[in-house]
Structure 1
């Protein structure tokens, strides 16, 4: 059986496997925290919830860098636009 530990603030700590349901420690549950960035357990409701702020979640998202081809295409488009407008580079 898989169990999921939480700390004194009910924040997820990790998981472990045990053999007997009766051996679940007080700071653990058999309910998995699925799909959360910073899972927090609510023992009264027997459920996990998200404790991360939107800012924290946004900071975890990867910053996608444009490929070299995309950069060259953008530079080319800007150059063509400048030339079509009669501008000087």
Structure 2
């Protein structure tokens, strides 16, 4: 129960239980299709599961992989370091 004048932070979900936004409200009861639970860190596409009263991940592994940033390209300095290391290796192996 919320004391009058105090706000609560509610998270909404749609008819399919997908995350649908959030807001601070002043109310003694939760609005329909809402919860006070906050999704755990790392959840990309939150889906509310009322049976366990918590958010779960709904994004597929394929989708999560597709949104990962590309690895950074090596800097010119790193490329030169790699080339020098390769040359040292070739020299150490007799030039072959």
The TM tier, using the shorter chain, reads: 0.7 to 0.9
Task: Provide structure 1 residue ranges, at least 5 long, that are not aligned to the other structure.
Answer: none
Q: Which residue of 1 aligns with 2:11?
A: 4
Q: Which residue of 2 aligns with 1:19?
A: 26
Within 5 A, what are the aligned runs for 1:1-89?
1-22=8-29, 24-35=30-41, 36-65=43-72, 66-84=74-92, 85-87=94-96
**SS of equivalent residue, structure 1 residue 52:** coil
Superposition TM-score, scaled by structure 2 size: 0.72
Which whole-Å CA distance do the structure 1 matches of 2:87 and 2:75 have between them? 18
Q: 1:3: how far off? A: 0.5
C-alpha distance after superposition, 1:10-57 (max 9, x if no partner): 1112211101131x3212111111221111001222111111122222
Which whole-Å CA distance do the structure 1 matches of 2:82 and 2:66 have between them? 27
Which whole-Å CA distance do the structure 2 matches of 1:54 and 1:41 have between them? 18
Which whole-Å CA distance do the structure 2 matches of 1:71 and 1:9 have between them? 49
CA root-mean-square deviation: 1.9
**SS of equivalent residue, structure 2 residue 84:** helix
Which whole-Å CA distance do the structure 2 matches of 1:57 and 1:78 have between them? 35
